[in-house]
Chain A
Amino acid sequence: MIAYSLRRLIQALFVMLAVALISFTLFQFVGDPINNMLGQEATTADRDALRDRLGLNDPIPIQFLRFVGNAVQGEFGISYRSNRPVSDLILERLPATLELAFVSAVFAVTLGISMGVYTALRRDGWASRVIMTVSLIGVSLPTFLIGILLIYLFAVELGWLPPFGRGDTVDLGAWTTGFLTTSGLRSLILPAITLGLFQLTLIMRLVRAEMLEVLRTDYIRFARARGLPNRAVNFGHALKNTLVPVITITGLQLGSIIAFAIITETVFQWPGVGLLFINAVRFVDVPVMSAYLVFIGLVFVTINLLVDLLYYAVDPRMRIGSPVGR
């Protein structure tokens, strides 16, 4: 167990190092931050002085080593644009993104599972057909278009919900929350739907397919033969066995909800880390960009690591198959 965990951990470390290398080298090619930092009246001497001060004249390997060394300590330097420590900026914006990701994950999982079960049990009903057809939209339309359509319908035409922003927030010290105010909750609805729609359809289709598979198996037939009520068969036996792959996929999707929040946050001007990243790109704010990529890498690697370790705990076959036993 220890050896297995260690191996996974070392792999994770290598992945992170690779992510760091990619995010670092990528930004050697995104343009010159100096231009955005100095006004158009700056002279050549001003530019050179600034490059020197930012360490942009050092050889690339040295810049990379400095980058990794600082990153390990959670230091990503100072944002070129807002002049504040990048780690502060990210921590400040994180609550907005996490709350949005949480709400859309809850939305996607609850609705996804219930609609998946429904369409599996009543596969020929007209409601199922409608759901299946509409869900195609969720899979095929790009997020930004869904966001704009929702804004147009619910904010511009109907005027029910705000088209942008986070509404009023309550400051709880290290965390600002939009859960405690009406305008905060209303502001959450449209972006959460936009962000969760794809995951919802994915989960729904997965649950439906798995469920149909399970319903055909022998033990379900035997359960029915025993005269168990439909409810017990469908939910007690079928659904439970359906959920194993669903949980895995959902866990991994949580990472992408956080990462893909960039588009949703831009469309809704949601003040989260995704928007921070987009702003950073516009201003060639290299420290923020690299910190964000490393952060997203860390989210994915951590979730993967946890899932791997969970498998080991849950699935006995992993233990038998592992080289340690041989």
Chain B
Amino acid sequence: MKKNISVIAMTAMASILASAASAETVRWARSGDSLTLDPHAQNEGPTHNVSHQLYDPLVYRNLDLELTPGLATEWGVTDDPNIWEFKIREGVTFHEGQSLTADDVAFSLNRARHDNSDMKGLLSSVVDVRAVDDYTVHVETDGPNPLLPNNLTNMFIMSREWAESNDVETPQDYAGGEETHAVRNANGTGAFRLVSREPDVRTVMERNDDYWGADIYPMEVSEIIFTPIQSQATQVAAILSGEIDFLMEPPVQDVERLSQAEGIKVETGPENRTIFLGMHQGKDDLEYSDAEGNPFSHREVREAMMLAIDADTIQRVVMRGFSDPTGAMLPPFVNGWTEEMHERPEVDTERARELLAEAGYPDGFDITLHCPNDRYVNDEAICQAVTGMLGQIGITVTLDSRTRSLHFADLQNGELEFYMLGWGVPPLDSDYVFNFLYHTNTGDRGSWNFTGFSNERVDELTVGISQETDLEQRDEMIAEIWEIVNEDITYLPIHNQVLAWAMRDDIEFPVQSENTPMFKYMEFTD
């Protein structure tokens, strides 16, 4: 009997502890806020981060970046290669009680294709989306599109009924300055429901106990309080003083200190973003250089610059270890990446000088390097280091670093000849890199190719891979493009950024390489 009582007491204790553990509020901070809660109005990282808690996509990338069932349980190409079929999860309800059907999915995907939508670019191959029955959706594309699901990982599903009764059937016209019900309210199927939202100040979300994945995920967080904090010193102070529990992207110079602080740990992992320098090889004469002709048009010059840049030193000195030096123009987990591309050539200033002489610039030349100073991690410092390194082989670099709004405006106007840029690859396929950075700049394709690089074979293959359904064949085509462009040395890759998340040390939350925290995965150790 006595034993029984103690057992009961212990069970009672355990259940109290369990409920105490499950009532965990997480105070989350990062430097920027979500721009809007309308899930289709902005294709931007911090915006999707908040939406991922409130809404669900059909498929998403889990902590290991694998494509994982969200609101779709199965998907595959039908007998018609132009049609993808998605089986929709049954028994899912929205926060306000509507049940999810294929009709809502079709509605949401079509909403994301609307002119106002910022997500439409990811669905440009789609011609029709229709609900076949209550739990089946067909997506028809204008040609075979083998990678359609890769484009859906941030494509959130809304309730048609809610959208219609609140007059938000079309996405908010973000650029035109529209304010709709969906901008500051949300009715998703996500693991968390919105409690309150004050833009730039604070967003509160509470656990959705009816979540379809309640038994699949840990779901230990009961409340999320999200506060954007801009000043880096204040971010660090806030986590050191215990006022916040989870800080995304702490300043690199403080990571060391944070990881040594009591009660705080820092999780790190590779980020889906490569930092590199671009050179305009297509012009006859450079505006920002007094050199004879265009030095960048010589492959030898580009190779010499590659040999002069010591990315390991940049990693050690500028990035304090928080970078992954690379010779490839894409991060390791992207389809098309190879160990061989990743390997950088040995730094060799002797050889670099010889190459410059071969190209007709034995005494080097002068050039202006344009850099943003508030976009990438330590962007300006990286450029300063590069300036010194190129100086070693006789290239006199003048550094011009400015705020990102000015930098990117000039870049897109095609005015820059030697510039820094960073590129992430959300669909995790080389296709995305070729399309924007290597295809001849026609406005539509190659819209971020400001190097003047233009290669017919590359253009042909780039268009080809977007429709090739035989994945083996497709990978060969990808490899061929990489061979051509790596041989050309169109860009000078420096490193892949490394992500860091700082958190209370009883939190278990590994870094997700897309920089998307999903709080349903967060666990606590006691």
Contacts and interface: CB of A to CB of B under 8 A. Distances in A.
B170 interface: no
A38 B447 CA distance: 13
A35 B408 contact: yes
B242 interface: yes
Given A45-B443, A151-B237, A163-B243, A37 B229 contact: no
A80 B199 CA distance: 14
A160 to B, nearest CB: 10
B176 A284 contact: no
Nearest to A30: B405
Interface string A46-67: 0100100110000000000000
B177 A151 contact: no
8 contacts: A33-B405, A39-B44, A39-B118, A43-B447, A45-B443, A269-B231, A279-B200, A279-B230
B185 to A, nearest CB: 14
A38 B409 contact: no
Interface string B405-438: 1101100100000000000000000000000100
A33 B253 CA distance: 30
Chain A CB within 10 A, most for which of B35, B177, B199, B444: B177
Given A32-B408, A35-B408, 10 more contacts: A37-B175, A41-B447, A148-B233, A155-B243, A163-B234, A164-B227, A166-B201, A276-B200, A279-B200, A282-B374
Nearest to A32: B409
A162 B243 contact: yes
A219 interface: no
A271 interface: yes
A37 B174 contact: yes
Q: How large is the interface on B (under 10, 10 to 19, 20 to 34, 35 or more residues)?
A: 35 or more
Given A43-B447, A53-B176, A152 B237 contact: yes
B103 to A, nearest CB: 29
A51 to B, nearest CB: 10
B406 A31 contact: yes
B237 A39 contact: no
B238 interface: yes
B237 A163 contact: yes
B133 interface: no
B448 A268 contact: no
Chain B CB within 10 A, most for which of A50, A82, A283: A82
A81 B43 CA distance: 14
A115 B436 CA distance: 65
A148 B234 CA distance: 7
Interface of B: 35-36, 42-44, 118, 121, 172, 174-179, 183, 198-202, 227-231, 233-234, 237-238, 240-243, 374, 403, 405-406, 408-409, 412, 436, 443-444, 447-448
Contact of B177 (A30, A39, A78, A163): A78
Contacts of A77: 177
A240 to B, nearest CB: 43
A298 interface: no
Given A83-B179, A271-B200, A41 B121 contact: yes
Contacts of A47: 412
Contact of B174 (A30, A41, A83, A155): A83
Given A30-B405, A271-B200, A276-B200, A163 B238 contact: yes
B177 A271 contact: no
Interface string A249-286: 00000000000000000111101000110110011100
Contacts of A279: 200, 230
Chain B CB within 10 A, most for which of A41, A43, A268, A279: A41
B371 to A, nearest CB: 15
A165 interface: yes
Contacts of B231: 266-267, 269
Q: Is the contact region of chain B dominated by helix, strand, or loop, or is it mixed?
A: loop
A266 B403 CA distance: 18
Given A32-B409, A39-B44, A151 B233 contact: yes
Contacts of B412: 35, 47
Nearest to A53: B176
Nearest to B198: A271
B238 to A, nearest CB: 5
A155 B409 CA distance: 40
A83 B43 CA distance: 16
B179 A84 contact: yes
A159 B242 contact: yes
A265 B31 CA distance: 14
A34 B411 CA distance: 13
A45 B443 CA distance: 8
A31 B409 contact: yes
B241 A155 contact: yes
Contact of B35 (A35, A82, A165, A267): A82
A79 B200 CA distance: 13
Interface string A115-129: 000000000000000
A151 B234 CA distance: 8
Nearest to B444: A43
Contacts of B175: 37-38, 50, 53-54, 80
Contacts of A30: 405-406
Contacts of A164: 227, 229, 234, 237-238, 243
A269 B118 contact: no
A166 B198 CA distance: 13
Interface string A7-38: 00000000000000000000000111111111
A73 interface: no
Contacts of B172: 83
Contacts of A53: 175-176
A38 B406 CA distance: 15
A249 to B, nearest CB: 30
A165 B176 CA distance: 31
A136 interface: no
A36 to B, nearest CB: 6
Given A35-B412, A36-B405, A278 B448 contact: no
